[in-house]
Amino acid sequence: MIGGDLFFKFLLWREKHIKESTFILFISFLVGICTAIAAMILKTIIHWIQNLLTADLAVDNANYVLLLYPVIGILLAGLFVKYIVRDDISHGVTKILYAISQRKSRIKPHNAWSSIVASSVTIGFGGSVGAEAPIVLTGAAIGSNLGRIFRMEQKTLMLLVGCGAAGAIAGIFKAPIAGLVFVIEVLLLDLTMTSVLPLLISSVTAATMAYVFTGTQAMFMFSQTEDFAIERIPYVLLLGVFCGLVSLYFTRVMNRIEGVYRGLGVYWKKFLLGGTMLSIFLFLMPPLYGEGYDTITSLLDGSFIHLMNTSPFYRWSDGYWGILIFMVFILLAKVFATSATNAGGGCGGIFAPSLFLGSISGFVFAHTSNYFSFTMYLSEKNFALLGMAGLMSGVMHAPLTGVFLIAELTGGYDLFLPLMIVSVSSYITIKMFEPHSIYSMRLAQKGELLTHHKDKAVLTLLKLDTVIEKDFETVTPDMSLGDLVQVIARSGRNAFPVVDDKGVFLGIVLLDNIRNIMFRPELYERFQVSKFMVSAPAKIQVDMPMEKMMQVFDDTKAWNLPVVDDKGHYIGFVSKSKIFNSYREVLVENFSAE
């Protein structure tokens, strides 16, 4: 109690002595520190579990125990979520988008730690997913809840959610620029210079802490031994198209598979199907085990033959086309292994699978092209690097993130031009077929997505209770025309809601509809309100999203519509003019440059 009083006094002192914009910078710095610590905790636990399970296993021989580990991992993670967390923590980035769109940027406090526990068990035991989306949700939850602790308003909460996500990316990848552009492209609204600075502070702080505690070396050590030639640009463009199509395959198939698992309903059915599918694919294609970063490192080093050593197809995968066919099978199977891990009860993201698939795609493209004598020689490791940017751009619909993330992950800044080319061409390719990223697809199908369109962003920030007008005089259906005229005389409105004795909305009396009889006293007792009231073109539910409400206005061509609760009780009216005025106020307050 004493501590609460002191904190409350601190908040009052802060409001008097520290400017809001300055205090936001302090919180963004704090978010950067916390997200970096969370990222390091997650990576440490994952590596500890991996080392504990695999330290005594031979690398070059088939280890059938590895088929069992991932199944145990998704079982433990699933039980943890089902019986301890008791909430859905999958699809981390999708949950952040939903929080921004529908929950006023409020993320539940348990998301600041529950994703770390579940994903570390899933990935540490070899689940075919990545740790990045869970840590992004963790970072966003840290930002949201720190903002709520310090009593920040909604627009600041939204910014702090972005700071948490940016810090998480920067902390786990050592990629501060990628953290910033990820938030701009995938999560947030239009940004001003005022909001970019907190994002930069969180990203740089988190990346600096990662450098201090884990060293300054890039996550994937890449040495470019062959310079990129301008003559290879057409091949890079084609690689981008190929990556866009692979991204489309990954997005569509994952969505379908998850739909199948949702249809099963019962948790144990999902686990049995997911565990069986995961074991089969890992047995046939061992590179699908875990995050796949060892495979990426091998491809970037130009050494890939050993990837097939533990596969039962090793004897048939020798030779040029044998290697290619094996890699194509991995390319097609990764989406099934990732979906089985998550839908079967595990917790993980698609960052790592996207990078894994991208390196495979780039290798397959270059390896195939090099077979033919009429094509230029393509560096397979260079194209594996470019493919990572292409898949990241296509799956996330985020070309800038793809470029900067791969450049910072590998130190491959000399390939900046081809990275941009492959990212843009991949993005354009998938946009022709799929308008939404894998993150936003589910929300878009439900109409719950906050997009980068400023109009929709502003509507999301509007609150219905601020635009409801309650100064309309109500009338009852049995009221006489004479009584109605008296109500009209003291009202400044030209519409009158009709309600019953319980307050349930029944209809409207419009002044224009009775103007020809309201000045004839001989009719005052002959007519009742029920005679000339009309139905409303539509009714607005009090919990209806603002964007959907505007769609109702557009469909009905109405200027005023009644607002009712879930039982039909009249609350007030909402008008287009009031919405437009509030729209302009929110637009100026939140999106104008300061």
Mean model confidence pLDDT for the chain: 82
Average pLDDT score over residue span 102-125: 86
Average pLDDT score over residue span 257-277: 87
pLDDT at position 306 is: 62
Cα–Cα distance measured from residue 100 to residue 5, given in angstroms and rounded to the nearest whole number: 31
SS3 of 129-196: the string is CECHHHHHHHHHHHHHHHHHHCCCCHHHHHHHHHHHHHHHHHHHHCCHHHHHHHHHHHHCCCCCHHHH
Provide the CA 303 distance to its chain's centre, in angstroms.
Answer: 35
Give the pLDDT band (50/70/90) at residue 386. Answer: very high
pLDDT at position 465 is: 67
E strands along 249-407, which residues?
none
Instruction: Between 153 and 486, name the one with better pLDDT.
Output: 486
Lowest mean pLDDT among 110-114, 289-293, 391-395: 289-293
Give the pLDDT band (50/70/90) at residue 215. Answer: confident
The CATH superfamily label for domain 2-214 reads Clc chloride channel (1.10.3080.10)
pLDDT in tens, 550-593: 778 788 887 788 888 888 899 888 887 777 666 555 555 544 43
Asked whether 394 and 430 are in contact (CB, 8 A), the reply is yes
Which spans in 441-504 are helix H? 441-446, 454-461, 481-489
Which spans in 265-318 are helix H? 267-284, 293-301
Cα–Cα distance measured from residue 156 to residue 24, given in angstroms and rounded to the nearest whole number: 8
Closest CA to 505 of 481, 474, 484: 474
Give the pLDDT band (50/70/90) at residue 314. Answer: low
Would you identify the CATH topology of the domain 230-454? Answer: Clc chloride channel (1.10.3080)
Domains 2-214 and 230-454 share a fold: yes
Give the pLDDT band (50/70/90) at residue 451. Answer: very low
Neighbours of 463 (CB within 10 A): 13
Cα–Cα distance measured from residue 251 to residue 441, given in angstroms and rounded to the nearest whole number: 9
User: Which CATH entry fits the domain spanning 456-591: 3.10.580.10, 2.30.40.10, 3.40.50.150, 3.40.630.30?
Assistant: 3.10.580.10
- Segments making up each domain of the chain, as ranges: 2-214, 230-454, 456-591
